[in-house]
Structure 1
Amino acid sequence: MAHNWDDLRLFLAVAREQSLSGAGKVLRLDPATLGRRVARLEKTLQVGLFVKSPQGYALTEAGVQLMERAEVAERAMRLATSEVAVESEHLTGQIRIGAPDGCANFLLPQVCAQIVANNPDLDIQIVALPRIFNLSRREADMAIGVSAPTAGRLVVQKITDYQLHLAASETYLAARAPVHHLADLKDHRLVGYIPDMIFDRELDYLAELGGARVPMASNSVSVQVNMIRQGGGIGVVHDFSLGFAPGVRRILTDKFGLKRAFYLIRHEDDQRNLRLSRFAHALSTGLRAEVARIEALN
């Protein structure tokens, strides 16, 4: 068995990423240095932990056994760190949140700014990517999703519903044929997702409109909003994004609207982590309040 937690931490990163370069990015270590540390660990244990190939680092049987023990040690370390952190009134340390870019751009900045204002020794990292995060590989401490995952050792909590409607810029609407009915959309450019890059069926908004052609598309919600703002066409937008897009207004609100939800997703092992639980409560409470506040303005 390894003699210190740092050895286990490095080993776990390589095992999860299955490469030195991937683990190096997670740990912010040079891959060559990481490779030397892994070799030293194998020499200390007198056993091979990985089978190296051009495809990456695969665990040996001994590596699998060590990973099981290392994950037990990791859970104990995270719990111990949590209990020390919550002895003080304020949250401290670093917490990383993974979120779809609409939430990350239009909601999380103000919600997390308030949390940091109340906890000045806390560092929050928001990773905005249009995909689902792998919490088992510790890409983030927790994630926000637009659907509730059913696989993996995860704990899922619904945060809040939110609304979406069709919208376009005033300049676009003034220059094009009137839009009084959904059938009129056939005469207009649509803005939406790149069809083969929709990572969650809940994001396939335009399917509700019959899957029309999308002349202007992006895998990013914030890019779509800016396309609409620049007169690119008509698209489905989050109501909570409209305050960031002056000159854009909702249309056909009595004929089309969608309701979706945000879910907080955590690893099952973190349920007893008091520090992360306190942060999760603050985050969920803040998001619910912010969505309600912004939607009340529309």
Structure 2
Amino acid sequence: MQWDNLRIFLAVARSESLSGAGKVLRVDPATVGRRIARLEERLGAALFGKSPQGYAMTDAGQRLLIHAERAEQAMTAALEELQGQPGTLSGQIRIGAPDGCANYLLPQVCTQIMDANPELEVQIVALPRVVNLSRREADMAIGVSPPATGRLLVQKITDYRLHLAASRAYLKNHPPIQRLEDLQRHRVIGYIPDMIFDKELDYLTEIGVQRVAMASNSVSVQFNWLRKAGGIGVVHDFAIPSGHGIQKVLPQLISLTRSFYLIRHADDRRLDRLNRFAAALCDGLRAEVARLEAQS
């Protein structure tokens, strides 16, 4: 079986549509459909069930998926060995991360890695949800809790801290905050409650805040509300240095600790390029969190 056929099969399996596969492959969706039909005819089995919701793999498709992913890993490893330059990283690597990490840590960390590896291309997918590695939305992901299922490599990167914070302008023009109960007289900024995708992000419930007056599923939106004197909220310590005039509130009473985890496909442990990038990424994140928290 030709690798090109498996490559098209994998694209349809991961995107669950001909149009999605066509975008990934840069091929017309009709061509993708014809290639899948010929592959099914050659194998004598239907690989996908077609419905208004898209293309779902059949049992035969699920069985082929295992072998197709192994072939993909072998092809990737071969290309790395043939094209790579000793001691340097090249090619494209995509990282998925929650937007707090993606906005306030990854740009500077990845820039340092790319400065040392000029042929490297890095894509950062900032999503306020868990990145789906099984669909190859990214080569690796950063999460705030270790996944409980799946064939994955999970490595703890570092702990990080969060505190209540507000702008000096907001605090100057609103009642003083000396106790936790005083928050009831203030606008609280936080996540939209029904869009919290990980229990580790439910900071306000943990500290006993019931009402969120200004809510967003984006950490960046929340942080910009703080910068514009919109209210008070829980902030990553590593973000505080980037917000002029942001200061901690009740740090002696409220201090939260969370962790970042690097999550990868289990089969990728054999890919030297990804292993070296992952090591550099983890080292860089640890150093950057420590540097920024010391300034907060």
* TM-score, scaled to structure 1: 0.94
Q: State the partner residue of 1:15.
A: 13
Aligned partners of 1:24, 1:219: CA distance in 2, in Å? 30
Runs of 4 or more consecutive aligned structure 1 residues displaced over 6 Å after TM superposition: none
Q: Which amino acid aligns with 1:117?
A: D
Q: State the partner residue of 1:284.
A: 282
8 Å contact kept, 1:86–1:274: no
Q: Deviations over 1:188-210 (max 9, x none)?
A: 00000000000000000001221
Find the partner of 2:205 among 197, 204, 207: 207
Unaligned runs of 5+ in 2: none
**Matches for 1:1-298 after TM superposition, within 5 Å:** 2=1, 4-45=2-43, 47-84=45-82, 86-298=84-296
Q: Deviations over 1:138-168 (max 9, x none)?
A: 1111000001111100111111111100111
- How many percent of aligned residue pairs carry the same amino acid? 65
8 Å contact kept, 1:108–1:287: yes
Q: Which amino acid aligns with 1:63?
A: G
Aligned partners of 1:58, 1:293: CA distance in 2, in Å? 46
8 Å contact kept, 1:85–1:91: no
8 Å contact kept, 1:83–1:273: no
Unaligned runs of 5+ in 1: none
Question: Which moves more between the two structures, 137-146 or 24-33?
Answer: 24-33
Deviation, 1:133, is 1.3
Deviation, 1:120, is 0.3
What SS does structure 2 have at the residue aligned with 1:240?
A: coil
Aligned partners of 1:91, 1:245: CA distance in 2, in Å? 33
Aligned partners of 1:277, 1:131: CA distance in 2, in Å? 24
Q: Which amino acid aligns with 1:99?
A: A
Q: RMSD of the TM alignment (CA)?
A: 1.6
Question: Which moves more between the two structures, 73-82 or 26-35?
Answer: 26-35
Give the 3 Å change call, closer, same or farther, for CA 60–208 of structure 1 in structure 2. Answer: closer
Deviation, 1:39, is 2.7
What SS does structure 2 have at the residue aligned with 1:137?
A: coil
Deviation, 1:183, is 1.2
Deviation, 1:32, is 2.8
What SS does structure 1 have at the residue aligned with 2:164?
A: strand
